[in-house]
C-alpha cells in the first residue's frame, strides 16, 4: 500500500539557501521512502532547474505560466488536486518539499489505513539536523497532509499553493466540514530545517481570500447554515479588498487573520484523534 505524494520543487537552491539542493533532495527522498511515490508539480519555467530530486520524484510539467507576481511561479493546488483525481491512486499526500518524514514501516501502514477514509495531519519540528533528532514543534500549521479519495472529492484548493499560507488549514477544515475523520500524526515524525519566512503579506491575503472562496462554495454545496456561509463570504471579502482598513486601520486584517489562523489550528487539533 502506498500514497502518491504531491509537492513542488524549488529550482536550484544555492548552498546557503534553505540548506541548498542537498536538503531538498533529502526531504524528497524521505517522502518517497515513506509513502512510495512522489510527483513534483512545476511549471515549464522551472522544470529544467529541478534535476536534483529526479531519482526520487517524477516531475510533472504543467506547461508555461504567464508572469507571476511572486518570487517563483507558485503551483495552483486546484490543478494538483484535479491531476490527482485523474490517477488510479486511492491514497494521496500534499507535502512541502522541505519536509523530512521519519516514519517506520509500521507507522506508515497505520497512517495509510486511517487516511483511506479520512485525513492525517503532521505538524513539523524545527531542527538544525534533519537526519537525527528534532527541536521545537511548529504549532501553527501542517507540512504533510495524507488523505484518501473521499477527501480528494470533498475538498477544493483552487487559488492556493505550496509556499502560500492557508492551504494546510483549508484541506483538513474542509474535510472536517464534510464529515470526514481527522487524525494527528506522531509528533516529531516530520522535521524541517529552519529558514526565514518567504511569504509576503500580499500572498497571505491572497491565500486567505482563496481559502474562504473554496470554503464558501463548499458551504453552499453542503447546505451549511446561512451564518456560516456569510462568515466565509465576509472574511474572503475583507482579505480580497482590504475593506476593513478604512474602519480599523491597515493592521486589523492581519490581527484578525492571526486569530482566525489559531482558531483553525484549535479546531483541527480538537477534532483530530492522536495516532
- What residue ranges do the domains of the chain occupy? 3-193, 201-274
Q: Give the β-pairing of 190-193 and 99-101.
A: antiparallel
The cell for 189 is: 515524525
Higher per-residue confidence, 87 vs 74: 87
- How many angstroms separate the Cα of 144 from the Cα of each of 5, 15, 102, 212, 219? 9, 24, 12, 21, 25
Mean pLDDT of the chain: 82
- Residue 183's DSSP bridge partners are 120, 273
Q: What is the pLDDT of residue 67?
A: 55
What is residue 61's DSSP assignment?
A: E
DSSP state string for 151-195: HHHH---TT-BTTSTTHHHHHHHHHHHTT--EEEPPTTSEEEE--
3-state secondary structure (DSSP) of residue 16: coil
| pLDDT tens sequence across 176-194 | 989 999 999 999 899 887 6
Least reliable range by pLDDT among 1-5, 13-17, 28-32, 150-154: 13-17
Q: What is the pLDDT of residue 121?
A: 97
Least reliable range by pLDDT among 30-39, 57-66, 200-209, 211-220: 200-209
Domain 3-193 has CATH 3.40.605.10: no
CA Rg value for the chain = 18
The whole-angstrom separation of Cα 142 and Cα 138 is 8
Higher per-residue confidence, 11 vs 227: 11
| pLDDT tens sequence across 6-59 | 999 877 654 444 456 778 888 999 999 999 999 999 888 878 777 555 578 898
- For residue 158, pLDDT over 60 is answered with yes
| pLDDT tens sequence across 96-134 | 988 999 999 999 999 999 999 999 999 988 776 666 666
pLDDT mean over 189-200: 74
Percent of the chain, pLDDT > 90? 41
Q: What is the pLDDT of residue 156?
A: 95
- For residue 248, pLDDT over 50 is answered with no
The cell for 253 is: 486584517
Amino acid at each position: 500500500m502506498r500514497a502518491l505524494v504531491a509537492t513542488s520543487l524549488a529550482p536550484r537552491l544555492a548552498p546557503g539557501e534553505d540548506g541548498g539542493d542537498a536538503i531538498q533532495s533529502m526531504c524528497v527522498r524521505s517522502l518517497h521512502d515513506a509513502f512510495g511515490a512522489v510527483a513534483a508539480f512545476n511549471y515549464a519555467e522551472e522544470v529544467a532547474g529541478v534535476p536534483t530530486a529526479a531519482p526520487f520524484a517524477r516531475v510533472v510539467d504543467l506547461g508555461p505560466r504567464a508572469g507571476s507576481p511572486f518570487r517563483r511561479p507558485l503551483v495552483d493546488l486546484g490543478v494538483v488536486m484535479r491531476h490527482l483525481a485523474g490517477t488510479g491512486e486511492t491514497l494521496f499526500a500534499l507535502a512541502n518539499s522541505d519536509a523530512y518524514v521519519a516514519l517506520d514501516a509500521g507507522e506508515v501502514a497505520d497512517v495509510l489505513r486511517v487516511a483511506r477514509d479520512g485525513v492525517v495531519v503532521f505538524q513539523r519540528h524545527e531542527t538544525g539536523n534533519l537526519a537525527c533528532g528534532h527541536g521545537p514543534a511548529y504549532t501553527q500549521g501542517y507540512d504533510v497532509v495524507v488523505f484518501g479519495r473521499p477527501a480528494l472529492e470533498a475538498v477544493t484548493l483552487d487559488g492556493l499553493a505550496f509556499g502560500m499560507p492557508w492551504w494546510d488549514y483549508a484541506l483538513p477544515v474542509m474535510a472536517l466540514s464534510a464529515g470526514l475523520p481527522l487524525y494527528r500524526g506522531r509528533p516529531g515524525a516530520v522535521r524541517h530545517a529552519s529558514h526565514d519566512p518567504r511569504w509576503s503579506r500580499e500572498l497571505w491575503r491572497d491565500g486567505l481570500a482563496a481559502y474562504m472562496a473554496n470554503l464558501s462554495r463548499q458551504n453552499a454545496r453542503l447546505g451549511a447554515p446561512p451564518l456560516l456561509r456569510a462568515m466565509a463570504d465576509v472574511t474572503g471579502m475583507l482579505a480580497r479588498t482590504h475593506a476593513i482598513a478604512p474602519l480599523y486601520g491597515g493592521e486589523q486584517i492581519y490581527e484578525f487573520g492571526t486569530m482566525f489562523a489559531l482558531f483553525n489550528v484549535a479546531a483541527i487539533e480538537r477534532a483530530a484523534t492522536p495516532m
